[in-house]
Amino acid sequence: MNILFDKEKGIFKLDTENTSYIIALTDEEKFIGHVYFGRKISDIDVSGLMRIDENPFVPSRNNRDRGSFLDTFPTEFPGCNVGDYRESAIEITDLNGHNCVDLRYQSHRICHGKPKLEGLPATFGSVQDCMTLEITAVDPVISLEIILRYSIFEGLDCVVRSCEVVNRSTDSVFVKRLMSMSMDMDQVDYELLTLNGSWARERHICRREIGYGKTGVGSTRGESSHQEQPFMALVSKNATQEVGEVYGFHFVYSGNFLAQVEKNQFDSLRIQMGIHPKNFCFEIPSGKSFVAPEVVLVYSHEGLGAMTRTYHDLYRKHLIRSPYKDKKRPILINNWEATYFDFHTEKLIAIAKEAKKNGIEMLVMDDGWFGYRNDDNSSLGDWFVNEEKLPGGLSYLVEEVNKIGLKFGIWFEPEMISPDSELYRAHPDWAITIDGRTPCRMRNQYVLDISRKEVRDYIYSLLSAILHSANIEYVKWDMNRQLCDLGSLGLPVANQGELMHRYVLGVYEMQDRLMHEFPNLLLENCSGGGGRFDPGMLYYSPQIWCSDDTDAIERLSIQEGTALIYPLSTMGAHVSDCPNHIVGRTTPFETRGHVALAGTFGYELDITKIPPEDRAKIADQVSDYHKYNALVRTGDYYRIASYSENHLYDCYGVVAKDKSEALFTYVQVMNGANRHSRRIRLQGLACEKRYRLEETGEIFYGDTLMRAGLHIHNMWGDFQSKLLHLTAVEG
Ligand code: DGJ
């Protein structure tokens, strides 16, 4: 890794192991141009690629025709309303009511390490691990500075970008749009890949053509959302797991976002990612600044698989902070699908006892333990133990569970308030609402205005008191509705457009406090399943509940889309009871176990009530978890076949970094009559190593398994699965 600056030519070059990113300044006017991002190249001066001296451009040196220049110039960070009619990266209103930003290079700094982004989640690294380039651009007329930041990491093919707007004028400015990154490049044959879905159907992979105009994904729901993931990739048409070009863009943020590609008149693409401009208007007072969240750009010339593994490695090493990130997590049993709201101490203890017998290590008490919450109509905000359900309180329950030999975890939904709660009766103004309007309920609840410090402090104090009251080692932090009726009594009229972002900063602040006050707590984020599964949340919790859909077959697509960019160690995945509560499907208990092994692994069922023949299989699953989890958590992920694409079977695997071991999971979703058995071509093994397949004892060279493939016998029935465990043999 290195960052070079050619002073004479005004060119910056950022080199990672296999990629180069090049920025160039124009001669006199010092526009900041984007020259290249892609596979590593040797030359630094390729600024001719900006095409500033050819038709239809007219050289702008004498300002004769700057409009046509700016409208085609491949810029690194477009200002607004000065001649570039493509999307701006920044839009502001100054106190005169004007909206122009014209940015020119002013200075730069190259350093080892990476500065923190105050109040925001961000990748991190030591001075040995990473390097940062900061380019300061300025619009002298309005005294506005933009600091563009680029960081690169040793051994990883990614560039992390963010920016900061500094107001050096004597008056406030209002920022109405601020993209964290913008990049212009030629359209070759790229398609757009995004992760789309819905509640219980999150992050399905979707690929489409890029037409003229603007296309993309976004969220204006106050969270990153079930519907659209803050991620997009440009992929060459021929791109598969192993070949083709891929540019990935992933936003390290948990609120509203926009991810957009614009194809213009000359077939060039403008790629942008940042906080969604809808409902966003942020005041920057004189002398202050605004820091935008960062975007992780990953380039691969070896298909989607290489992009995936870069994201996995970056997040495991440079984003997740929890002490659990490199540890095997306790196998938990969660009572949500087991009991829903209908539980009490004795029932939980019975579950804990049976769980212990079967090797489970932690009991998690989900929604319904507080206030008078016996369904989802009340009590959010009243974080006081319901002693009718839990006589003797939490301390008694937790002590009993600990005596049985299990750890204890608990569910919270700190950002919410039920209209039927003591808290709402005392502080109706703490809910996000607009005076005079009947606020919209979702799951019969409102959202607390945690942009306000007094609200955050109050809720946090209750949460902290509960955690101090007993030996609680895990928290599931849930969020079960999205934001609307955007009004905050904590903000002046002119600043209402700050609410959505301040809300997200409030979540970050609370989770940061939690991490610091309870450094050994295992935190799992959740939002009605996977509605806030984003890199921002991973900075606070090493795992996130993937989806409320625990059906093993539905999970194949959800986990495939999730694992495209997130390490398996972060995906909350449990074995649940059948018929599945979301889709009514019955799958073999073994298959449910195999699919959950690709994530954090746990149970979500009433172990005292499931069929004895299923219960008898838990011991084997638990032993598989202990046997394979280190590999699953730390290895390289390979996608072999996708049920979403072929509608018949699924296959993925994890290979140890030193290639000594691999575990592939094969799921035959649909059986069919009179079909050939399958041949699966594995990936990621060492060609020259010989591997023993544990199931049969057969030994093959890695190149055989990857090039000729492995023979998989058809299994009897739908929804069948098997694990293929390979270990390298000596000699
Ligand atoms: C949504 C979560 O995803 C579920 O696992 C469960 O915790 C419920 N909320 C509880 O209300």
Give the Cβ contact number of residue 587 at 10 Å. Answer: 25
For residue 63, pLDDT beyond 80: no
Question: How much is the pLDDT for 58?
Answer: 65
**576 Cα to the center of ligand 1, angstroms:** 14
pLDDT bracket for residue 67 (50, 70, 90): confident
* Nearest-atom index, ligand 1, CA of 604: 5
Per residue, what are the HEC states of 437-471? CCCCCECCEEEECCCCHHHHHHHHHHHHHHHHHCC
One-letter amino acid of 208: R
Question: How much is the pLDDT for 622?
Answer: 98
What residue has token string 């890029």? 210
One-letter amino acid of 378: S
Report the percentage of the chain scoring pLDDT > 70: 99
Instruction: Give the pLDDT confidence of 202-260 residue by residue, as tens digits.
Output: 999 999 999 999 999 999 999 999 999 999 999 999 999 999 999 999 999 999 999 99
- Nearest CA among 322, 352, 320 for reference residue 335: 352
The answer to pTM > 0.95 is yes
Kindly state the DSSP code that residue 224 receives in the 8-state scheme: S
Report the percentage of the chain scoring pLDDT > 90: 95
- Per 3-state DSSP, the chain is made up of helix, strand and coil in percentages (nearest 5) of 20, 35, 45
**58 Cα to the center of ligand 1, angstroms:** 59
What residue has token string 């009619």? 85
Average pLDDT of the chain is 97
- Nearest CA among 76, 69, 4, 70 for reference residue 33: 76
SS3 category, 501: helix
367 lines ligand 1 (CB under 6 A): yes
What residue has token string 């950002």? 415
* Nearest-atom index, ligand 1, CA of 336: 6
Question: In which region does residue 426 sit, left (phi positive, over 0), alpha (psi from -120 to 50) or beta (all else)?
Answer: alpha
Q: Say how far apart CA 161 and CA 249 lie, in whole Å.
A: 10
**483 Cα to the center of ligand 1, angstroms:** 18
Of 334, 480, 527, 603, best ligand 1 pocket probe by most atoms within 8 Å of the beta carbon = 480
Q: Say how far apart CA 412 and CA 524 lie, in whole Å.
A: 11
Give the burial class of 577: count Cβ atoms within 10 A of its Cβ; 0-12 exposed, 13-18 middle, 19 or more buried.
Answer: buried
* Nearest-atom index, ligand 1, CA of 411: 7
202 lines ligand 1 (CB under 6 A): no
411 lines ligand 1 (CB under 6 A): yes
For residue 348, pLDDT beyond 70: yes
Q: Say how far apart CA 344 and CA 599 lie, in whole Å.
A: 29
Question: How much is the pLDDT for 554?
Answer: 98
What would the DSSP string read from start to end of 76-95?
SS--BSSS--S--SEEEE-T
Mean pLDDT of 263-271: 96
**106 Cα to the center of ligand 1, angstroms:** 50
* Nearest-atom index, ligand 1, CA of 334: 5
Of 366, 410, 416, 537, best ligand 1 pocket probe by most atoms within 8 Å of the beta carbon = 366
Say if residues 451 and 499 touch (Cβ distance below 8 Å): yes
SS3 category, 2: strand
Peptide bond preceding 56 in cis form (omega within 30 of 0): yes
Instruction: Give the pLDDT confidence of 442-476 residue by residue, as tens digits.
Output: 999 999 999 999 999 999 999 999 999 999 999 99
Q: Say how far apart CA 649 and CA 705 lie, in whole Å.
A: 18
Instruction: Give the pLDDT confidence of 572-595 residue by residue, as tens digits.
Output: 999 999 999 999 999 999 999 999
Six-digit token pair at 68? Answer: 């046509």
Instruction: Give the pLDDT confidence of 80-126 residue by residue, as tens digits.
Output: 999 999 999 999 998 899 999 999 999 999 999 999 999 999 999 99
Question: How much is the pLDDT for 344?
Answer: 97
- Nearest protein CA to atom 2 of ligand 1, as residue: 528
- Nearest protein CA to atom 10 of ligand 1, as residue: 367
**Maximum Cα–Cα distance across the chain:** 84
One-letter amino acid of 363: L
For residue 28, pLDDT beyond 90: no
336 lines ligand 1 (CB under 6 A): yes
Question: How much is the pLDDT for 59?
Answer: 59
Residue 92 CB contacts under 8 Å (≥ 6 apart), including other chains: 80, 99, 101, 142, 144, 173, 174, 175, 176
549 lines ligand 1 (CB under 6 A): no
* Contacts of range 594-597, beta carbons closer than 8 Å, 24 or more positions apart: 594/552, 594/665, 594/667, 594/721, 594/722, 594/723, 595/552, 595/555, 595/556, 595/559, 595/665, 595/667, 595/721, 596/552, 596/555, 597/573, 597/621, 597/624, 597/625, 597/628, 597/629, 597/632, 597/665, 597/723
- Nearest CA among 112, 4, 547, 566 for reference residue 296: 566
- Nearest protein CA to atom 9 of ligand 1, as residue: 528
Q: Say how far apart CA 19 and CA 12 lie, in whole Å.
A: 14
Which positions are annotated as active-site residues? 478, 548
282 lines ligand 1 (CB under 6 A): no
Question: In which region does residue 312 sit, left (phi positive, over 0), alpha (psi from -120 to 50) or beta (all else)?
Answer: alpha
How many helices and strands (H and E) does the chain possess?
15, 39
Question: How much is the pLDDT for 68?
Answer: 84
What residue has token string 């490199």? 326
Question: How much is the pLDDT for 64?
Answer: 72
Annotate 414-429 with b (16+ C-beta within 10 A) or e (fewer). Answer: bbbbbbbbebbeebee
SS3 category, 168: coil
Backbone angles phi, psi at 349, to 5 degrees: -65, -40
* Nearest-atom index, ligand 1, CA of 526: 3
Question: How much is the pLDDT for 24?
Answer: 97
Question: How much is the pLDDT for 60?
Answer: 62
**117 Cα to the center of ligand 1, angstroms:** 31
For residue 54, pLDDT beyond 80: no
**143 Cα to the center of ligand 1, angstroms:** 48
Say if residues 308 and 639 touch (Cβ distance below 8 Å): yes
